[in-house]
Chains A and B, each alone.
Chain A
Amino acid sequence: MIINHPLLGPRDSSEFSYLGDAALLNRPSAKSETATDDFYRYQYLRDNPPGEHRELWYHEHGDRSWLVITRNMTTHAITKVELARDVKRAMIEASKS
Chain B
Amino acid sequence: MSLIDINNPLNFTFDGKAHSGFEGDTLASALLRSGVRIVGRSFKYHRPRGIMGAGAEEPNALVEIHEGNVCEPNRRATTIKLFEGLTAKSQNHMGSVNFDFLAINDILHPFLAAGFYYKTFMWPKAFWEKLYEPIIRCAAGLGKLALTPDPDSYDKGFLHCEFLIIGAGPSGLLTALNLGRAGKQVILVDEDFHMGGRILSENYEINSDGGIKWVTEALNELENLPTVRLLLRTTIYGVFDHGIYGGLETRTDKIGAPGPRQILWKINAKHAVLAAGATERPIAFANNDRPGVMLASAVRSYKNRFGIDLKNTALLTNNDNGMLTEANHIIDIRNGHHITDVNGRKGVTSVTLNTGEKLKADYVAISGGWNPNVHLTCHKRARPIWNDTLSCFVPDGNTLSSDMSVIGAAKGTFSTHGAFRDANKVSEKLGCKTIPLPKTEDRPIDVKAFWHVKGTKRAWVDFQNDVTAKDIILAHQEGFSSVEHVKRYTTLGMATDQGKTSNVVGLAVLAEATNQTIPQTGTTIFRPPYTPVPIGAFAGSHRGQHFKQIRLTPSHKYASENNATFVETGYWKRAQWFSRAGEQGWRDSVDREVIMTRKSVGICDVTTLGKIDVQGRDAGKFLNKVYVNTFSTLKVGKCRYGLMLREDGIAMDDGTTARLSDTHFVMTTTTAKAGPVFKHLEFARQCLYPNMDVHLISTTDQWAQFSIAGPNARKLLQKIVDPDFDISNEAFPYMACGELTVCGGTRARLFRLSFSGELAYEISVPARYGDALIREMMSQGEEFDAIMYGTEALGVMRIEKGHAAGNELNGTTTATALGLGGFVSKKKDCIGKVLSRREGLISDDSMTMVGFLPVKQGDKLTNGAHFISKGETAKALNDQGYMSSVAWSPTLETYIGLGFLKNGKNRKDEVLSAVDFVRHNHVDVKVVSPHFVDPKGERLRV
Whether the complex brings A and B within 8 Å at their CB atoms is answered yes
Residue B311 lies at the interface, judged by CB distance under 8 Å to chain A: no
Q: Which of A61-82 contact B (CB under 8 A)?
A: 64-66, 76, 78
Cα distance, A64 to B157, chains bound together (Å): 24
* Max chain B Cβ within 10 angstroms of own Cβ: one of A17, A40, A43, A86: A43
Query: Which chain B residue shows the least CB distance to A78?
Result: B242
| B838 in contact with A58 (CB, 8 Å) | no
| B242 in contact with A2 (CB, 8 Å) | yes
Residue B152 lies at the interface, judged by CB distance under 8 Å to chain A: no
- Chain A residues lying within 8 Å of B690, measured Cβ to Cβ, are 84-86, 88-89, 92
* Cβ-defined partner of A40 (8 Å) among B241, B244, B682, B835: B835
0/1 interface trace, chain B 808-851, chain A, CB 8 Å (1 if under): 00000000000000000000010001110110000000000000
Query: Which chain A residue shows the least CB distance to B158?
Result: A12
| B838 in contact with A17 (CB, 8 Å) | no
| A2 in contact with B834 (CB, 8 Å) | no
| B835 in contact with A39 (CB, 8 Å) | yes
0/1 interface trace, chain B 484-514, chain A, CB 8 Å (1 if under): 0000000000000000000000000000000
- Chain B residues lying within 8 Å of A92, measured Cβ to Cβ, are 690-691
* Cβ-defined partner of B647 (8 Å) among A31, A43, A84: A43
| A60 in contact with B244 (CB, 8 Å) | no
Cα distance, A31 to B691, chains bound together (Å): 20
Cα distance, A91 to B360, chains bound together (Å): 84
Cα distance, A78 to B837, chains bound together (Å): 39
* Cβ-defined partner of A19 (8 Å) among B648, B683, B691: B683
- Chain B residues lying within 8 Å of A12, measured Cβ to Cβ, are 244, 266
- Chain A residues lying within 8 Å of B837, measured Cβ to Cβ, are 36
- Chain B residues lying within 8 Å of A46, measured Cβ to Cβ, are none
Cα distance, A78 to B241, chains bound together (Å): 10
Given contacts A36-B838, A88-B690, contact A2 B268 (CB under 8 A): yes
Q: How many A-B residue pairs have CB under 8 A?
A: 67
Residue B567 lies at the interface, judged by CB distance under 8 Å to chain A: no
B235–chain A nearest beta-carbon distance, Å: 21
Cα distance, A39 to B244, chains bound together (Å): 39
| A88 in contact with B686 (CB, 8 Å) | yes
If over half of A's interface residues share one DSSP class (helix, strand or loop), that class is named, otherwise mixed; here it is: mixed
- Chain B residues lying within 8 Å of A28, measured Cβ to Cβ, are 834
A89–chain B nearest beta-carbon distance, Å: 5
| B687 in contact with A88 (CB, 8 Å) | yes
| B682 in contact with A64 (CB, 8 Å) | yes
Residue B806 lies at the interface, judged by CB distance under 8 Å to chain A: no
Residue B243 lies at the interface, judged by CB distance under 8 Å to chain A: yes
Q: Which of B684-737 contact A (CB under 8 A)?
A: 686-688, 690-691
Q: Which of B658-696 contact A (CB under 8 A)?
A: 679, 682-683, 686-688, 690-691
A72–chain B nearest beta-carbon distance, Å: 11
Cα distance, A31 to B723, chains bound together (Å): 52
Query: Which chain A residue shows the least CB distance to B266?
Result: A12
| B834 in contact with A36 (CB, 8 Å) | yes
Cα distance, A36 to B839, chains bound together (Å): 10
Given contacts A36-B837, A43-B835, A84-B686, contact A17 B679 (CB under 8 A): yes
Cα distance, A4 to B679, chains bound together (Å): 21
- Chain A residues lying within 8 Å of B266, measured Cβ to Cβ, are 12
Given contacts A65-B686, A66-B682, A92-B691, contact A2 B241 (CB under 8 A): yes
- Chain B residues lying within 8 Å of A86, measured Cβ to Cβ, are 690
B315–chain A nearest beta-carbon distance, Å: 46
* Cβ-defined partner of B834 (8 Å) among A35, A60, A85: A35
Cα distance, A92 to B838, chains bound together (Å): 28
| A84 in contact with B687 (CB, 8 Å) | yes
| B242 in contact with A60 (CB, 8 Å) | no
Cα distance, A58 to B687, chains bound together (Å): 11
- Chain B residues lying within 8 Å of A40, measured Cβ to Cβ, are 835
- Chain A residues lying within 8 Å of B682, measured Cβ to Cβ, are 58, 64, 66
Query: Which chain A residue shows the least CB distance to B839?
Result: A36
- Chain A residues lying within 8 Å of B679, measured Cβ to Cβ, are 17, 58, 60
0/1 interface trace, chain A 15-26, chain B, CB 8 Å (1 if under): 001010000110
* Cβ-defined partner of A56 (8 Å) among B242, B647, B687: B687
Query: Which chain A residue shows the least CB distance to B828?
Result: A30
| A76 in contact with B242 (CB, 8 Å) | yes
Query: Which chain A residue shows the least CB distance to B837?
Result: A36
* Cβ-defined partner of B833 (8 Å) among A10, A30, A78: A30
Given contacts A24-B687, A65-B686, contact A30 B268 (CB under 8 A): no
B676–chain A nearest beta-carbon distance, Å: 10
B221–chain A nearest beta-carbon distance, Å: 31
0/1 interface trace, chain B 250-272, chain A, CB 8 Å (1 if under): 00000000000000001010000
Residue A7 lies at the interface, judged by CB distance under 8 Å to chain B: no
A8–chain B nearest beta-carbon distance, Å: 15
- Chain A residues lying within 8 Å of B243, measured Cβ to Cβ, are 2
Residue A45 lies at the interface, judged by CB distance under 8 Å to chain B: no
| B241 in contact with A85 (CB, 8 Å) | no
- Chain A residues lying within 8 Å of B838, measured Cβ to Cβ, are 36
Cα distance, A53 to B506, chains bound together (Å): 40
Cα distance, A1 to B244, chains bound together (Å): 7
- Chain B residues lying within 8 Å of A64, measured Cβ to Cβ, are 682
Query: Which chain B residue shows the least CB distance to A58?
Result: B679
Cα distance, A66 to B682, chains bound together (Å): 8
Query: Which chain B residue shows the least CB distance to A24?
Result: B687
- Chain A residues lying within 8 Å of B244, measured Cβ to Cβ, are 1-2, 12
- Chain A residues lying within 8 Å of B240, measured Cβ to Cβ, are 1
Cα distance, A36 to B266, chains bound together (Å): 47
Cα distance, A83 to B687, chains bound together (Å): 9
- Chain A residues lying within 8 Å of B835, measured Cβ to Cβ, are 36, 39-40, 43
| B683 in contact with A39 (CB, 8 Å) | no
B624–chain A nearest beta-carbon distance, Å: 13
Given contacts A24-B687, A43-B647, A66-B683, contact A30 B834 (CB under 8 A): yes
- Chain B residues lying within 8 Å of A84, measured Cβ to Cβ, are 686-687, 690
B612–chain A nearest beta-carbon distance, Å: 12
- Chain B residues lying within 8 Å of A1, measured Cβ to Cβ, are 240-242, 244
- Chain B residues lying within 8 Å of A24, measured Cβ to Cβ, are 687
| B829 in contact with A30 (CB, 8 Å) | yes
Cα distance, A58 to B838, chains bound together (Å): 29
| A85 in contact with B687 (CB, 8 Å) | yes
Cα distance, A76 to B837, chains bound together (Å): 39
B400–chain A nearest beta-carbon distance, Å: 13
- Chain B residues lying within 8 Å of A31, measured Cβ to Cβ, are 829
B182–chain A nearest beta-carbon distance, Å: 23
Cα distance, A10 to B268, chains bound together (Å): 10
- Chain B residues lying within 8 Å of A78, measured Cβ to Cβ, are 242
Given contacts A1-B241, A39-B835, contact A27 B688 (CB under 8 A): yes
| B691 in contact with A89 (CB, 8 Å) | yes
- Chain A residues lying within 8 Å of B686, measured Cβ to Cβ, are 65-66, 83-85, 88
A21–chain B nearest beta-carbon distance, Å: 12
Cα distance, A88 to B679, chains bound together (Å): 17
| B268 in contact with A25 (CB, 8 Å) | no
* Max chain A Cβ within 10 angstroms of own Cβ: one of B679, B829, B834, B835: B834
A65–chain B nearest beta-carbon distance, Å: 7
Cα distance, A28 to B647, chains bound together (Å): 11
| A66 in contact with B242 (CB, 8 Å) | no
- Chain A residues lying within 8 Å of B833, measured Cβ to Cβ, are 30
Cα distance, A31 to B835, chains bound together (Å): 13
| A43 in contact with B683 (CB, 8 Å) | no
Cα distance, A31 to B833, chains bound together (Å): 11
- Chain A residues lying within 8 Å of B242, measured Cβ to Cβ, are 1-2, 76, 78
Query: What are 27 residue pairs bridging A and B, where the CB atoms are less than 8 Å apart in the complex?
Result: A1-B241, A1-B242, A2-B243, A12-B244, A12-B266, A17-B679, A19-B683, A27-B688, A35-B834, A36-B835, A36-B837, A36-B838, A39-B834, A40-B835, A56-B683, A58-B679, A58-B683, A60-B679, A64-B682, A66-B682, A76-B242, A78-B242, A84-B686, A85-B687, A88-B690, A92-B690, A92-B691
4 extra interface residue pairs, beta carbon distance < 8 Å, beyond A2-B268, A25-B688, A43-B835: A2-B241, A10-B268, A27-B688, A85-B690
Q: Please give me the 9 A-B residue pairs with the lowest Cβ-Cβ distance, nearest first.
A: A30-B829, A2-B242, A85-B690, A66-B686, A39-B834, A85-B686, A76-B241, A1-B241, A88-B690
